Amino acid sequence: MISCLIADDQAMVREGFGALLAAQPGIAVAGLAADGAEAVRLARQTRPDVVLMDVRMPVLDGLQAARELLSDPSDHSDPGDHRDAPRVLMLTTFDLDEYVYEALRAGASGFLLKDAPAAELVHAVRVVAAGDALLAPSVTRRLIADFTKRPRARASGPVGPPHSPLTPREEEVLALIARGMSNAEISDTLVIAEQTTKTHVGRILMKLQLRDRAQAVVFAYESGLVTPGE
């Protein structure tokens, strides 16, 4: 059973999403929050698998709430509980909202437009709960396009350790991930089996201590492995 917490300051949105998800097999709604502070509190109480987090909320915005939830997985009310932090899926009204990129850097697993079809919302929750990033190749390409418009100054802190632990082949795979390629496209480009690509992706995430494909894209650019516009 996938437990899901919904945080949105619009009552109709959070209640509508809650009713939709509660009606799905294998999904339970752990709670509804009207602002970021309440989302953090409820998430630490209920330990949901997925948090649907609106970007813009009062008291504490979704970005800061995501940072608090993802910065220290062991920071819960029960000091004996060290379960992983929930997967955070950012909700936004605008494609590539300016805060979404920062949310991905903070560890969010992707983003979803509020006007997405109901089936897409349900699929997104299942994908993120399974440990994957909700970054389809087309979305990744738009994220990259957004990145190229940003100042070239480096971020205030690294996303992960240097990429030196990677083999040359793994660096190739990471560079292609950062260019928005799916596993199938990477396999075709490198002329390797798709299962081999999946293995490489898994090893990359493990070696770099990254949560998912979303952070891998961010890491590739911020580490200098890939340069915007190449």
Angle of CA points 168, 170, 174, to nearest 5°: 115
pLDDT in tens, 176-188: 988 778 888 899 9
Residue 123, token pair as written in the block: 């699929």
Q: Please give the span between the terminal C-alpha atoms of the chain, in angstroms, as a whole number.
A: 43
pLDDT in tens, 11-21: 999 999 999 99
pLDDT average, residue stretch 206-225: 82
Give 105's contacts (C-beta < 8 A, 6+ positions apart).
155, 159, 215, 218, 222
- Any idea how long the chain is? 230
- Residue 188, number of CB atoms within 10 A of its CB: 13
pLDDT in tens, 49-101: 999 999 889 899 888 999 899 875 544 444 334 346 899 998 887 665 566 66
Domain range summary for the chain, segments of one domain joined by +: 2-134, 136-230
Give 159's contacts (C-beta < 8 A, 6+ positions apart).
105, 210, 215, 218, 219, 222, 223
114/122 Cα distance (integer angstroms): 12
- Residue 93, number of CB atoms within 10 A of its CB: 12
pLDDT of residue 31: 95
- Give the lowest-confidence range in 30-44, 47-61, 75-89, 194-208: 75-89
Return the CATH architecture of domain 2-134: 3-Layer(aba) Sandwich (3.40)
Q: In this predicted model, which residue has the larger pLDDT, 211 or 188?
A: 188
pLDDT band (50, 70, 90) for residue 225 = confident
Domain 136-230 has CATH 3.40.50.720: no
At 110, is the secondary structure helix, strand, or coil? strand
Element (H, E) at 153: none
pLDDT in tens, 105-156: 777 887 788 888 899 899 889 988 887 766 655 555 666 666 666 655 444 4
pLDDT of residue 103: 74
Taking CA atoms, 177 is separated from 132, 197, 217, in Å, by 14, 10, 6
What is the reported pTM?
0.69
